[in-house]
Amino acid sequence: MTDEELCAMAVKAMDNAYVPYSGYKVGAALLTRSGKIFTGCNIENAAYSPSVCAERTALFKAVSEGERDFVKIAVAGGKNGKIASEFPPCGVCRQVIAEFCSPEFEILVVKAENEYGVYTLKQLLPNAFTPENIE
C-alpha cells in the first residue's frame, strides 16, 4: 500500500459522508500494522454535537474490530466533495489518534489530486496528553 493509494482510498471514502448540515465531505483511510485498511467518513446529526469526524469513524471501526496497531492515516475533505486545500484533522481526532499511536505516526493530508502533505502526530499535537500521563 503506497501513500498515494492510501490517499486515494481517503478520497473515495468521502463519497459516503453524511453531511446534510455542513456540506463538507470528509474521508479517511487508516492503515494497520497487519496490513488492513479501515476507511471512515464524517456523519453529521440534526442535533449537531453527536456528529462524528471521518478520522474517528475509521479509528473506532478499527478498534472495534480488534485492531490497535496503526501505521498511518490519510485524510481528505472539502465542500460538496471538492478538495480545494488541506483538510487537517480536528483537535478531538488528534487526541483520539494520540490514544493509540506514537508521536511518529504519519498523517497524510490530501491537498489536491495526487498532492498531499505528510505530518507526524507530534507535529500536529505537540506535548500530547496520552495514556502515559495517567496511571
Q: Which is nearer to ligand THU, 34 or 112 (CB)?
A: 112
Closest to 72 measured CA to CA, from 35, 28, 105 = 105
Sole binder of ligand THU in the list 1, 90, 112, 118 (CB under 6 A): 90
Q: Which residues are within 8 A (CB) of 55 and not within 5 positions of it... i.e. 6 or more apart?
A: 26, 28, 30, 40, 73, 75, 89, 90, 93, 96, 97
51 binds ligand THU (CB under 6 A): yes
For the record, the C-alpha cell of 77 comes out as 475533505
Cα–Cα distance list, 10 to 16, 99, 103, 132 (Å): 11, 21, 22, 30
118 binds ligand THU (CB under 6 A): no
Active site residue 55: yes
Q: Which is nearer to ligand THU, 125 or 132 (CB)?
A: 125
Given 4, 55, 113, 135, the catalytic residue: 55
C-alpha span between 14 and 18 (Å, rounded): 9
54 binds ligand THU (CB under 6 A): yes
Residues in the chain: 135
Q: Which is nearer to ligand THU, 89 or 121 (CB)?
A: 89
Active-site positions read 55
Binding site for ligand THU (CB under 6 A): 19, 22, 24, 26, 42, 44, 51, 53-55, 89-90, 93
